[in-house]
Amino acid sequence: MLVVNNLISFTDSDNEKVVERVLWLNKEHDYGYFFNIHTTSLPYERNISEVEEGLNKGSIILVEKDPFSRLINENDIPEKHLSLRDSTWEIIKDIVKLEPFVYHSAERRKLILKKSEAHNIHESTIIRYLKKYWQRGKTKNALLPDYYLCGGKGKEKKANEVILISPFFCLPARHIAIAKRCFTF
């Protein structure tokens, strides 16, 4: 039996593994909205009966371990991370509450444009926030920044003495090494 936030996995026609999150279900009318957690696509509609038939046949399986679930103590989250999460939530909270309309592209576009103007941010930023929210389980904490993924584990970072700059920064078709004090040409 499918419920919201279940993860299902199957192999598509190109022999690639697909993992989808169940975002919303309307069992009365036999459809729901799903989201592929490993692509940049937006939510799409599927027949619930087809998915349940695949579950019964074994061609679709329920994924037990959510790759995005993290057990987080609210007190252990740095204030900066909470601030970033909360500001992102303020932008999308009114949009995500409007299920199932938010899953219709025309309706979603209208909602995004309103929020984009109200908060003075680009609509692609709002779409990125929505995708992150749907991908990671439709929770407020899904919007926390991913700083814990940055850098080598357990290694202290040091600034280099010489910095390499893109060739497009100063001189075309040439890398420039900048020493501590001056440019050398």
DSSP state letters, 7-52? EEEEE-TTS-EEEEEEEEEETTTTEEEEEETTSSPPPEEEEHHHHH
Check: CB of residue 10 under 8 Å from CB of residue 54: yes
DSSP state of 101: G
* 134 or 69, which is more confident: 134
The burial class, CB within 10 Å (0-12 / 13-18 / 19+), for 23 is buried
Tell me: pLDDT of 184 over 90.
Answer: no
Residue 10 has pLDDT above 50, yes or no: yes
pTM of the predicted model, to two decimals? 0.79
Q: What is the pLDDT of residues 109-147, one digit of tens each?
A: 999 999 999 999 999 999 999 999 999 999 999 999 876
Q: Give the rounded percent of residues in the chain with a pLDDT score beyond 70.
A: 79
- The residue written with tokens 């695949």 in the block is 54
Element (DSSP H or E) covering residue 89: helix 79-96
Residue 16 amino acid letter: E
pLDDT level of residue 173 (50, 70, 90 thresholds): very low
CB 160 within 8 A of CB 89: no
- Cβ 179 vs Cβ 162: under 8 Å: yes
For residue 68 the two structure tokens come to: 């995005």
- The type of residue at 18 is V
DSSP 167: T
Which pLDDT belongs to residue 161?
56
Higher pLDDT, 176 or 10: 10
